[in-house]
Amino acid sequence: MAVERKLLGVNPSGGGVSLDVDDVFSINVYTGTSVAKTITNGIDLAGEGGMVWIKRSDGTPDHNLYDTNRGVGKYLRTSIAHAANTNATYLNAFNADGFGLGADIGGYANYNTFDYASWTFRKAPTFFDVVSYTGNGVAGRTVAHSLGAVPEMMWVKCTDFAYDWTVYHKSLGNTKYLRLNEDQSELTTDGVWDNTTPDDSEFTLGDGSVVSANTNLFIAYLFTSLAGVSKVGSYTGNGTNQTIACGFSAGARFILIKRTDALGDWYVWDSSRGIIAGNDPHLSVNTTAGEVTSDDSVDPANSGFIVNQVSATNINVSSGTYIFYAIA
């Protein structure tokens, strides 16, 4: 079946060459071998940079995030507040057309017979960026980025100390934040974003240790909406089912949803494992749990996706408030 390719736009770093979503995002599901292997997905990580997110889907190893700013083998786990670890037998190469895996014996990326899901995000203006910085503990400090648009969602993590993950989302505003490694509801403080909304060249930090501890190292993953390609948004639950329109033409291939007014996991679905009119496998970013396949929480819709209210995920509770990120 032909793959519909969606124009992303002109990437200045690519010499004016137009890119589509398949050049900047990829879903790869595979079975581990415990022998070094290459995942070829057409994403230029060596030249353009980006992030690879890997989770064993049939077991309980954590979600591991790798990025080109920090280098191969260096990973962050999303369910715990820990410093970065290094293991070259997991992800061992960022390539011009994907990434390489080592002879994994720990079960996190390529263990023999284990099943894995991976999502690759390439740096690209108006789509995704990765930013490294050193904290200074001073409120009002600004950090430059190259997203070329206003970041609408940001994940920030200290890499050399065990601080929580901190999440900005445009729907919550600049006085609130979430923790990626927890299921709790939104929190309020001026010590994280300094009550300042990011703009198309920089974001602002408060004096909170989780985002700006003096001399500590930090990584930030920046996401934004691009018409017809990606959507950062929110919705209010109605207790039954509803279509979440994202401006897409052939549905969503990746969906992330989090409830913000009450407890709720960070749920992830993708089209390679199934976004169908039936049960859809999902993973929880804030836990180590393997995928759950026994509920029908989401359904396909050309304009975006459909959320159903089922007790397994509670992603459409009446009057509940939710944030989401979706890719076409």
Give pLDDT tens digits for 224-275.
Answer: 999 999 999 999 999 999 999 999 999 999 999 999 999 999 999 999 999 9
Classified as helix, coil or strand, 90 is coil
CB 237 within 8 A of CB 317: yes
What is the average pLDDT across 89-113? 96
Confidence (pTM):
0.95
pLDDT at position 159, please? Answer: 98
- Average pLDDT value over all residues in the chain: 94
Confidence of residue 20 (pLDDT cuts 50, 70, 90): confident
CB 95 within 8 A of CB 28: no
What is the average pLDDT across 139-163? 98
Dump pLDDT digits (tens) for 293-312.
999 999 999 999 999 999 99
What is the average pLDDT across 83-88? 94
Render 123-191 in DSSP notation, one character per residue.
Answer: -BTTTEEEEEEE----TTEEEE---SS--SEEEEEESSS-PPPEEEETTT-TTEEB-TT-----EE-ST
Q: How far apart are CA 181 and CA 34, in angstroms?
A: 28
What is the average pLDDT across 82-91? 94
Q: What angle do CA 214, 91, 82 make, to 5 degrees?
A: 35
Q: How far apart are CA 144 and CA 133, in angstroms?
A: 9
CB 30 within 8 A of CB 118: yes
Confidence of residue 105 (pLDDT cuts 50, 70, 90): confident
What is the average pLDDT across 175-200? 98
pLDDT at position 8, please? Answer: 53
| One-letter amino acid for residue 48 of the chain | E
- pLDDT exceeds 50 at position 3: no
pLDDT at position 142, please? Answer: 98
pLDDT at position 75, please? Answer: 97
What is the average pLDDT across 132-144? 98
CB 76 within 8 A of CB 130: no
pLDDT at position 19, please? Answer: 55
- pLDDT exceeds 50 at position 15: no
Render 281-318 in DSSP notation, one character per residue.
Answer: -BEETTS-PPPB-S---EEEETTEEEEE--TTT-TT-T
Q: What angle do CA 24, 163, 68 make, to 5 degrees?
A: 25
Q: Which residues contact 230 (CB under 8 A, 6 or more apart)?
A: 21, 127, 223, 224, 325, 326, 327, 328
What is the average pLDDT across 178-206? 98
User: How crowded is residue 179: how many other Cβ atoms within 10 Å of its Cβ?
Assistant: 18
What is the average pLDDT across 20-26? 95
Alpha-carbon separation of residue 178 from 117, 139, 192, 193, 245 (angstroms) = 24, 19, 10, 12, 24
